[in-house]
Amino acid sequence: MNALLNRRAALLLAIGLMILFAGVIQPAFLSGFSGEQQMTLLLLIIAVYFWIAAPIPSGAASLLLLALMFLFGLAETVEDTLRGFLSPALYFVLVLSLLSKALVAAEVDQVIAKILIKLSKGGPAAIIAGLPAFILALPIFLPSAAARYKIMEPLMARINSLYGYPHRSLFHKYSLFLIGMVNQNATMIVFTGGGFPILAHQLLKDYGVAELTWLEWFAKVAPPLWIGAVAMVLFMWQYLKRSVPEAGLEAKVAAEADSLEEERKPLGARFWIVMAGFILMILAWMFLDEGKVPLIVPPIILIALFALPKLGLITNQTVRQYDWETFLMLGAAFSLGLILAENGTADALAGLLTGLIPEGAGVVVKVSVIALIVFVLRFFFIIPSGALVVIFPIVISYSELIGIEPVQLAFLVILIVGSMLVLPIHSIPTYLAFETKVIEKREQYVIGAAFSGLFTVISIVAAVWYW
């Protein structure tokens, strides 16, 4: 139902944009746009419609966009339309996705289960206090929010039963919001935490904003993100506590937790080989010079190691199961982003945005205006990566026009886009958590809106005074 409503809203938005383009915007505002730039805007509207409303499968839509780039005269050759697929970020996302599957195959879920079961022995209070910290650190070691959710969700459901709580208990709701919203948001702590921060890191380099090391990214993103996460966890707990009565059944914990732990198999040699390789890869990201050893090289070497017959963690079937539709969508989005930047369309759009700023406005007002625009645009996108690739070049051009350092607005866009979780379909983990039927619509909308609103405010504060 939520997906249907969002698609209807997207359809109305797209139709409205096309009407404005044909009847209002084109004569009035686009007089300063060249013919090529106007065709680029039309292609952008079509792309946004495809990515939001999904009238046809995303893979087919992405291929059609590539054809339209050539037919609209925005690329001289077919090869030019495919430049987006040369971005290292696409293949970085691919190799990290394969590695996350290898980690699951090596039974890393057993380690996560052991940690959560040990926490559960301390009673609900230990989980309530310890799970947020665990989730905020986990992206460093398991680079996929969806994979992390799929590992933790059945465990949290089991622990909820172990405490004797009903299916829709306060504890169960709280844990699902943590492994849904907070887990998704925590992906950005390191740029290797998932597909979205990998793309963001690549865009920073592609548009000449910054070339950040693993530790430099962590230093910029982790403090504001952790502050926001702690505030949201406190709000989430208090809000749920008022709406759901606490069961208070804690006496059954110790004995049943022991029996639950006994169900876990001992870890084999394969697991330790995989973990040793993964830790070495993280250390390489942290300390090796990216100019000499590109970030994508260590994980590629690990994939070859994990594919050896004696380990057998990555097979042809593993590669076939990758989300190739998203691969095509991101490649097409990168190509469109390059066109926006190169033919001046992004600069022209940024010039229009400056007209929304009151004359003589200070930096805080300027940043707040662009934050609000990014917030509204992101709301209509289902896939955060698609929103980022479209919005990023426009905002970078805007930063140059209003005299703000590009890196400040770049991270503002990244944090707002990555923290938009109002609707369940705004991310895979929040959607999966909502589909359990444990979380009610009102709870999702209230907590999701508070989450997204808080991080918009934090991004404004960080852009002005921290980044």
Query: Among residues 272, 275, 293, which one has the least CA distance to residue 284?
Result: 293
Q: What is the pLDDT of residue 5?
A: 44
Tens of pLDDT, residue by residue over 293-331, are 777 888 888 888 888 888 778 888 888 887 788 788 878
How far apart (Å, rounded) are the C-alpha atoms in residues 49 and 59?
14
Could you tell me the sign of the dihedral formed by the alpha carbons of 196, 198, 202, 204, in that order?
A: positive
Q: At residue 222, does pLDDT exceed 80? A: yes
* Range 68-74 average pLDDT: 84
Cα–Cα distance measured from residue 88 to residue 97, given in angstroms and rounded to the nearest whole number: 14
Encode pLDDT of 420-451 as tens digits: 887 777 777 887 788 788 888 888 888 888 88
3 has a pLDDT exceeding 60 = no
361 — pLDDT class (breaks 50, 70, 90)? low
pLDDT in tens, 370-382: 888 788 777 766 6
Average pLDDT, the chain: 76
Using alpha carbons, list the distances in angstroms from residue 174 to 233, 419, 460: 9, 18, 28
Query: Does pLDDT of 218 surpass 80?
Result: yes
Long-range contacts of 243-252 (CB under 8 A, 24+ apart): 243/443, 244/168, 244/169, 244/170, 244/173, 245/170, 246/170, 247/163, 247/164, 247/165, 247/166, 247/169, 247/170, 247/171, 249/163, 249/164, 249/165, 250/123, 250/124, 250/163, 252/162, 252/163, 252/164
pLDDT tens-digit profile of 233-244? 888 888 888 776
Residue of 230 and 168 predicted with greater confidence: 230
Provide, rounded to the nearest whole percent, the portion of the chain with pLDDT above 70: 79
* Per-position DSSP letters for 64-88, written without gaps between them: HHHHHHHHTTS-SSHHHHTGGGG-H
Residue 251: band (very low, low, confident or very high) from pLDDT cuts 50, 70, 90:
very low
Mean pLDDT confidence for 129-136: 83
Place of tokens 């609103």: 453
Cα–Cα distances (Å) from 199 to 127, 322, 333, in that order, read 33, 17, 11
Confidence of residue 249 (pLDDT cuts 50, 70, 90): very low
pTM comes to: 0.74
Cα distance between residue 355 and residue 38, in whole Å: 19
DSSP character at residue 295: T
pLDDT band, residue 248 (cuts 50/70/90): very low
Please give the pLDDT value at position 123. Answer: 67
